[in-house]
Amino acid sequence: MKLRYAIFYVDDVKRTLEFYNTAFGLHIGFLHESGDYGELLTGDTKLAFSSIELMKTLGKSPSRPDPKSPSSEIAFETETVAEALAAAIEAGATLVQEAREEPWGQTTSYVTDINGFLVEICSPVASAG
């Protein structure tokens, strides 16, 4: 078994895909003609978005993200955290935490996307060697 998808529920799938393309440089891999489902190219595991309306038609009641009390996050790793953070904010992300060095040897920063989902922009963890 392998992790294939991480799917987040949003109001506007197309707008969300475009935001992630601009903010994080992720390419759109698929957008259904209905506009209710789309995927970003992120390697073996796809980052996908489904409309809240579609989920309601499937009998689900998705909750809205709460950045002050998150239950999950999306994390993107890069060697250039400060530059990636600036690009995300320029694209419309909201700053949660400036880039900072962590005791475990990693640079981390946080934003929320246009839907309120928490997104970490971080460096690889430095090896302890």
**Superfamily of domain covering 74-122:** 2,3-Dihydroxybiphenyl 1,2-Dioxygenase, domain 1 (3.10.180.10)
> In this predicted model, what pLDDT tens digit does every residue of 33-87 receive, in sequence order?
999 999 999 988 899 999 999 999 999 999 989 988 988 999 999 999 999 999 9
**Cα distance between residue 120 and residue 97, in whole Å:** 9
**Cα distance between residue 116 and residue 114, in whole Å:** 6
CATH of domain 5-57: 3.10.180.10
Within this chain, domains 5-57 and 74-122 share the same CATH topology: yes
Domain-by-domain residue ranges, the chain?
5-57, 74-122
**Cα distance between residue 118 and residue 110, in whole Å:** 7
Sign of the dihedral defined by the CA atoms of residues 78, 39, 17, 92, in that order: negative
Residue 84: count other Cβ atoms within 10 Å of its Cβ. Answer: 22
**So what's the pLDDT on residue 6?**
94
Banded pLDDT at 129 (limits 50, 70, 90) = very low
Taking 90 as the threshold, does the pLDDT of residue 128 lie above it?
A: no
Taking the complete model, does pTM exceed 0.75, yes or no? Answer: yes
